[in-house]
């Protein structure tokens, strides 16, 4: 019964002591909000909550401070304060290693950074997230995203982002145990200018860590000395900054402790442990606490101070709280080695057994995470490949469509150009045809005017002489005979002229009908010669020359005889003697040629209109049979050249 009472009292005491800090935290929170509510609504009010949050980031209720501060900043449209508070949200979840909320707050932070065109906090937060991925073993994805981070920073022309991308990729390679590549990337980051003092410290720290893991301890010490030199230079200028760089100094001293613990240099190890003790406090992250306490445990291990060594190991192991499992396994093995050296084999066996169980659990978890990482990377690569294939297909379709459009466009342009040329040609031909028609109309007008005169003169003579014969009774027999001959001559001339006009009209309109027969051209020319020589009242001599005996052709005998008569016989009313020579021969194997010299149709200035009409009739008639009719001059003599085809016509 007594034992039960004592146990109950202990439990109540524990609860009371546990409740006391919670009560104090609640009172502190309420006090902060009372002060906040009493402050005027301005930027200082938001800054007050942010500063209080930074000092109480480990408290769960500190997020409420950020909520109130953020609402105030948004209401005042203070983008700078909103940006700072979004980054503090990210730090809040980073402190708790809450990856899901880290991603969410990063997305919100990115939106504000892009809106304000200030990208440093965004790239810094992205740097921490990718480092967290690397610590979880997803190094391949971290490397790919680091390169994308660099592309984004280059696009935004943000030098700080470019620097952090190199550092992040280097850390990812370090997590993947490719330390040489990590050092190469760290050095590339160090070559960027200008670098702030914080960035120089970061590079020295990461280089020191990489050299240490490679076992290059002199190079590690060189980087630590450079790092300490930068910090001392900053603090010497302003001692108030010591608190700000206390964490950095602590990390430098702990790295020295790692080196001297590895080479079992007890004096230097103790010197740097004492130096680290100056900067140590309980507000550090668990990793620093673990490293500090493990360094002391290692020191006691080297000095064989077992009474302090094992409690220090236990204290160190209690700080892990499930984080860094592989580091915890290694530490339990070292603790087992210490138990063996101390001769406490039972505890050593228990430490080894616990280490093996945890290692097995860690290996399974690591294998599972690696499988998930591989699957995730496979999905990422597959998505990227599908995206690339889709982009390639899109560009193929786009190029094909553009090519087709260009081809159609060029074809359309060529088509339009050809149509335009055809229209221009048609317009030009139409204008030319119109000009020809106008010229023809004008010629017809002139022709009608002239032919009217040609018709009116003999017609007037016929009418006048007829009236005289009818009305005058005093005419002698000789005068009556003379009038009668004149009337007859003018009437015949008038009839011939009218018939020629009708023939010309039929030939021009294509209405002339021909009676085509097969006939000997030589005989036709002889007949024309005889007809010309038998003209009444005219002395004419016709010389017909040919070496042909016979040549059958398809010809309208009457029309062709009329054509030959027109070029051989003198016009009616002319009585002067004349000589005509014409020749028949072959122009080619399929064509005959008749050349007329001294034709009466070419002589004299009178009756010019009648001769023009006769020439036109002769030309149109021969063209109807694919022959030709030409007026030319040779050796001072005027010639009429007639060609006529030998081939048959249907």
- Percentage of the chain surpassing pLDDT 70? 81
DSSP E strands in 472-511: the ranges are: none
The average pLDDT across 74-81 equals 82
The per-residue pLDDT for 155 is 92
pLDDT-derived band at 460, boundaries 50, 70, 90:
low
Helix (H) or strand (E) holding 603: none
What is this structure's pTM? 0.49
Q: Which of 37-46, 249-258, 511-520, 619-628 has the lowest mean pLDDT?
A: 37-46
Categorize the per-residue pLDDT at 369 as very low, low, confident or very high, splitting at 50, 70 and 90. Answer: low
Nearest Cα residue to 330 out of 316, 342, 340: 316
- Name the strands in the sheet holding 628-634, side by side, starting at the edge strand that comes first in the sequence: 540-546, 578-588, 591-597, 637-645, 628-634
On the 0-12 / 13-18 / 19+ scale of CB atoms within 10 A, 164 is buried
Would you place residue 1 in the very low, low, confident or very high pLDDT band (cuts 50, 70, 90)? very low
- What pLDDT is attached to residue 13? 29
Q: Please state which of the ranges 16-25, 303-312, 391-400, 562-571 shows the lowest mean pLDDT.
A: 16-25
Q: How far apart are CA 57 and CA 321, in angstroms?
A: 19
Residues 6+ apart with CB under 8 A from 385: none
Share above pLDDT 90 across residues of the chain, in percent, rounded to a whole number: 4
Bridge partners (DSSP) listed for residue 585: 593
The confidence score (pLDDT) of residue 137 equals 79
For residue 650, pLDDT beyond 90? no
Give the contacts of 310 (CB within 8 A, at least 6 positions apart): 335, 338, 339, 342, 347
Q: Within 319-344, where are the H helices?
A: 325-341
DSSP bridge pairs for 519: 553
pLDDT digits (tens, 9 = 90+) for 567-614: 887 766 566 777 888 888 988 888 889 999 888 877 765 567 777 888
Confidence of residue 144 (pLDDT cuts 50, 70, 90): very high
Residue 34 CA to residue 641 CA, distance in Å, equals 131
pLDDT tier, 38 (very low <50, low <70, confident <90, very high otherwise): low
Q: If you compute the radius of gyration of the chain from its CA atoms, what whole number of angstroms results?
A: 63
Window from 23-27, 69-73, 107-111, 250-254 with minimum mean pLDDT: 23-27
Answer whether residue 19 shows pLDDT above 50: no
Q: What is the third-level CATH fold of 514-645?
A: Heat Shock Protein 90 (3.30.565)
* E strand or H helix at 637: strand 637-645
* Tokens at 125, concatenated: 């937060």
Measure the CA angle with vertex 607, ends 605 and 608; round to 5°: 65
What pLDDT is attached to residue 14?
31
481 exposure class (CB count in 10 Å sphere: 0-12, 13-18, 19+): exposed
Query: 119-230 sits in which CATH class?
Result: mainly alpha
- Say whether pLDDT at 449 is over 60: no
* pLDDT value of residue 471: 67
Range from 67-76, 111-120, 133-142 carrying the lowest mean pLDDT: 67-76
Q: Are 164 and 122 in contact (CB under 8 A)?
A: no
Q: Span 42-56, mean pLDDT?
A: 74
- pLDDT of amino acid 154: 92
The burial class, CB within 10 Å (0-12 / 13-18 / 19+), for 539 is exposed
> What are the CB-based long-range contacts (under 8 Å, 24+) for 279-286?
279/246, 279/247, 279/249, 279/250, 279/253, 280/250, 283/58, 284/247, 284/250, 285/95, 286/319, 286/320, 286/321, 286/323
Q: Round the average pLDDT of the chain to a whole number and report it.
A: 79
Per-residue pLDDT, 148: 92
- Give the C-alpha separation, 595 to 581, whole Å: 8
Interatomic CA distance for residues 403 and 522, integer angstroms: 72
For residues 605 and 557, the model is more confident at 557
pLDDT of residue 166: 92
Predicted confidence (pLDDT) at residue 3 exceeds the cutoff of 50: no
pLDDT higher than 80, residue 164 = yes
The 3-state DSSP class for residue 576 equals: coil
The DSSP-derived string for 514-555 is --EEEEEHHHHHHHHHHHHHT-TT--EEEEEEES-S--EEEE
What's 571's DSSP letter? P
Residues in the chain: 650
Average pLDDT over residues 79-107: 84
Domain range summary for the chain, segments of one domain joined by +: 119-230, 514-645
Structure tokens of 414?
Answer: 């060529």
Q: Is the pLDDT of residue 4 over 60?
A: no
Tokens of 454: 């040609």
pLDDT at position 184: 92
Q: What is the pLDDT of residue 2?
A: 34
Mean pLDDT throughout 469-497? 71
pLDDT tens digits, residue range 246-288?
A: 888 888 888 889 898 888 899 988 888 888 888 888 777 778 8
């Amino acid at each position: 019964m007594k034992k039960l009472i004592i146990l109950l009292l202990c439990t109540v005491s524990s609860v009371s002591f546990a409740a006391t800090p919670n009560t104090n935290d609640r009172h502190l929170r309420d006090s902060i909000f009372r002060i906040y509510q009493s402050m005027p609504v301005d930027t200082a009010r938001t800054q007050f909550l942010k500063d209080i949050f930074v000092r109480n980031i480990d408290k769960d209720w500190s997020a409420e401070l950020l909520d109130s501060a953020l609402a105030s900043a948004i209401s005042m449209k203070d983008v700078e304060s909103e940006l700072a508070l979004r980054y503090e949200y990210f730090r809040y979840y980073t402190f708790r290693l809450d990856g899901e909320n880290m991603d969410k707050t990063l997305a919100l932070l990115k939106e504000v950074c892009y809106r304000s065109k200030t990208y440093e906090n965004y790239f810094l937060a992205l740097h921490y997230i990718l480092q967290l991925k690397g610590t979880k073993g997803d190094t391949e994805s971290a490397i790919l995203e680091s390169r994308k981070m660099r592309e984004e920073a280059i696009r935004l022309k943000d030098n700080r982002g470019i620097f952090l991308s190199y550092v992040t990729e280097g850390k990812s390679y370090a997590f993947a145990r490719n330390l040489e590549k990590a050092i190469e990337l760290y050095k590339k980051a160090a070559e960027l200018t200008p670098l702030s003092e914080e960035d120089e410290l970061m590079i020295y720290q990461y280089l020191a860590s990489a050299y240490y893991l490679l076992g290059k301890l002199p190079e590690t010490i060189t980087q630590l000395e450079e790092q300490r030199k930068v910090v001392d230079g900053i603090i010497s200028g302003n001692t108030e900054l010591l608190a700000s760089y206390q964490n950095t100094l602590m990390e430098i001293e702990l790295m020295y402790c790692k080196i001297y613990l590895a080479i079992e240099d007890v004096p230097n190890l103790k010197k740097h442990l004492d130096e680290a003790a100056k900067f140590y406090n309980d507000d550090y992250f668990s990793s620093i606490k673990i490293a500090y306490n493990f360094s002391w445990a290692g020191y006691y291990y080297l000095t064989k101070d077992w009474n302090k060594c094992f409690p220090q190991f236990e204290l160190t192991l209690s700080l892990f709280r499930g984080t860094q499992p592989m580091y915890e396994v290694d530490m339990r093995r070292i603790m087992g080695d210490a138990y063996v050296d101390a001769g406490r084999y039972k505890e050593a066996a228990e430490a080894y057994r616990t280490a093996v169980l945890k290692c097995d659990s860690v290996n399974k978890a690591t294998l599972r995470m690696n499988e998930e990482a591989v699957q995730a990377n496979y999905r990422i690569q597959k998505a990227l490949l599908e995206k690339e294939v889709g982009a390639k297909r899109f560009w193929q379709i786009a190029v094909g469509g553009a090519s087709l459009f260009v081809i159609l466009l060029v074809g359309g342009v060529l088509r339009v150009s050809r149509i335009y040329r055809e229209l221009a040609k048609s317009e030009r031909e139409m204008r030319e045809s119109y000009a020809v028609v106008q010229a023809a109309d004008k010629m017809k007008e002139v022709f009608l005017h002239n032919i009217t005169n040609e018709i009116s003169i003999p017609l007037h003579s016929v009418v006048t002489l007829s009236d005289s014969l009818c009305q005058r009774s005093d005419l002698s027999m000789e005068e009556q005979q003379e009038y009668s001959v004149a009337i007859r001559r003018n009437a015949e001339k008038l009839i011939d002229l009218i018939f020629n006009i009708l023939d010309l009209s039929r030939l021009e309109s294509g209405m002339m009908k021909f009676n085509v027969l097969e006939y000997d051209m030589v005989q036709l020319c002889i007949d024309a010669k005889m007809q010309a020589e038998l003209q009444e009242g005219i002395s004419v001599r016709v010389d017909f020359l040919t070496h042909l005996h016979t040549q059958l052709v398809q010809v309208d005998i009457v029309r062709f005889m009329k054509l030959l008569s027109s070029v051989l016989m003198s016009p009616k009313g002319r009585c002067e003697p004349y000589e005509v020579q014409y020749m028949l021969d072959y122009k080619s194997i399929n064509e005959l040629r008749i050349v007329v010299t001294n034709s009466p149709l070419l002589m004299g200035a009178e009756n010019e209109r009648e001769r023009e009409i006769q020439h036109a009739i002769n030309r149109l008639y021969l063209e109807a049979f694919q022959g030709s009719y030409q007026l030319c001059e040779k050796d001072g003599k005027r010639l009429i050249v007639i060609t006529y085809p030998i081939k048959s016509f249907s």
